[in-house]
Chain A
Amino acid sequence: MALSPRTRALAATTLALTAIAGCSSASGGSGGDGAKDGVVSIDFYYPDQVGTLSTLIDGYLKDFAKEHPEIKVKGVYSGDYDQTLAAVNTAIDARKAPALAIMDQSFMHDLVERKAVTAWNPFLTSDADRKWKDSFYPQFMSNSVGADGQVWGIPFARSTIVQYWNKDYFKKAGLDPEKPPAGWDELVADAKAVQSGAGAKWGLFIPTSTGTAYWLYQALVQQAGGDGAISDRAGTKVTVNSEQNVKALEFWASLGTQKIAPTTEVAWGTSTDDFLAGTTGILWTTSGRIGSIQEKAGFDWGVSALPAGAGKGAPTGGGSLMLFDAGVSKKQKEAAVTLAKFLTTPERAADVSIKSGYIATSEAAWNTEAMRAHLAKHPQAKAPHDAVADAIPEMATPDRDRVVYQTLAPALQSVLLKGADPRKALDKAQSDIDAVLKTHR
């Protein structure tokens, strides 16, 4: 065929363009029902907030492949919880959702509302299945079960807030190093004592970062005698301006005015480093930090449940295993359930706890050989277990980013960092949150 050079050049360009356009439609992951030659393929997204989890999971997945050759798992490390949510959202929009993913449990309402997740109930039909479901601590399950009794999540990497204190400072300040503050008065007195008596720059750090302020606030509300859960089970009713809510925030703000804590942001990320550097005598933060404090502390330290006031208990947090629906076949979901069971055996729950600092999710896990040996060596690791007994659910609502990060956290920060009036700030937050939640009822 005798084409002129021009026509040939154009033809080549057209071909190239077609090829580019073709790429976008030809690419794609595990389509169909993922079954081929009797082998089921599934995607599994897992975040890692602490840096040790992904290695652990990689190992478990290798073991799983040996034990279950009929299931092929593609593990996808997906960053932190927020990035995982974004990744899952994108996958859902493309109808190529992972069959299973570890999600921040507090995203549950959003995901349920968008019908992105599948309830576990249809897959838990035998007695053994139900027994497995009931083996997890109810404190952890409370965030995973909807108002209608549907189970949306299986606890995996869970945590709560605990109190760390610097025993060296306590000794130096003339306090009993084995006796952590057990109430607000003691907390303030001890904090002042380590400042004046032991020369600590600050007495008490309760992180005020946008991402976690609500969490610590929940504990303070509980201690003030209020409902620390803040949200109801359906997540659509939130109370942040009760008397106890205001009292809790007033107490928190008083730490700054009494110069026990800074009136600038106490950053979640670096507060552990500050505790390790001796900048503060007492720190409230996640139980997940026990491991790193254990490893790095150059002084004698203790860890306990949070102090109690009119009420007691701290919220739980962390990630749960969730099943997804978009483009996932029944077979793949069943395979995902098999994987979930494999990942949550008492032995593995204990292993996760020992190696990452998350709290073992069942009593059986605490009674394993490995865990007993670990506790014998590191008695501090028992504190989270004790804290779980009184744990309350984590605040969880639909439109969580707007309610929690965009409305509640700034309201708290305006009081803590800029000296706004607690009642006014909370009243405003209440009406803003109500406006957001109104659209979700």
Chain B
Amino acid sequence: MPEVVLEQISKTYQGARGVRHQALTGIDFTVPSGEFAALLGPSGCGKSTTLRIVAGLERADGGDLRIGGRSVTRVPAAERGLAMVFQNYALFPHLSVAENILFGLRSRRVPRAERNARLAEAARQLRLTEQLDRRPAQLSGGQRQRVALGRALVSGAELVLMDEPLSNLDARLRADMRTELRELQQRLGLTVLYVTHDQVEAMTMADRVIVMREGGIDQIAAPEELYARPASVRVASFIGSPPMNLLDVRRDGTWLVLDGAEGDGDRVRIEAAGLLKGLPDELPEELVLGVRPEDLVPGPGELTLPAVRIRDELLGADRLIAFRVGTRTVQVRVRADEHRPGGDRLGARHTACHLFDRRTGARLDARRLVGATG
């Protein structure tokens, strides 16, 4: 079974005028067989390079790559037993849909009868039976996308790599295709490594999200975990829309003091004995306090922030309310039909609060820091 394992994969590019540019620094991750893994990150983070190394389109400078237990670092792309769906679909414009789908099988000299059987099956699964004689230019974006998928499916490969396959589709179609892709993957039991910069795609489809940034990995986790327990300030700010509210605070005994406020008289102090309980004494002075917009409620809570309401934004079912806390603005998401609270405070439950070390950006976790208590 095609489990994919990357160990200490690194890559540097020779840039212009001999400047070397480190693209990947020691990438480690595993995609278990039959799992849908998403490589998520902003453009230039190295996610596409990682995918291309797995595909065999580029060669890593160091590290080991194993597919199905076999080291394939030196195996040509065509012999790695994988298929790939490209961002621009890589459809041959001069060939019909059928010829496009069968292109690889012809290259691999699969007998005609089997080719036709596989084509019919793929066309049925992807609802392309009517379009088999058309040229790519005569297809809609979604149909082209499905042809590209079809080409991957008929190859019989159980590992499919996808490089931002939905980025050329409009928003609605993208939502449909997300569902369709996920269904297909689960139905056929495919192992998928999926590159995207769109957190929604990663969160909705993937069993496991690998968050990348600047040639390294920030966090590997299931979507729920990623949302609930972001491992760093960066991941916290990247995942979720609108993003998590992050406030720079300084620890003062059992109080948290909001940084950036003018003058001691106006300084915002937050009572946080309950939140800090269980955290070790050697806790750093400078912290980042994070609360997601939907975890804040107007009025007092386990943790209470003094806040001034400044504006409202209706988002259909939800309402986004901006509050000023000290000199910072925080977003609060409530149901649209919830009555308008007029209060000057915001509350949150302790379990919904995230604390990060401001210097390293790492998450501070009572259980993890204390050790075996959890």
Direct contact of A and B (CB under 8 A): no
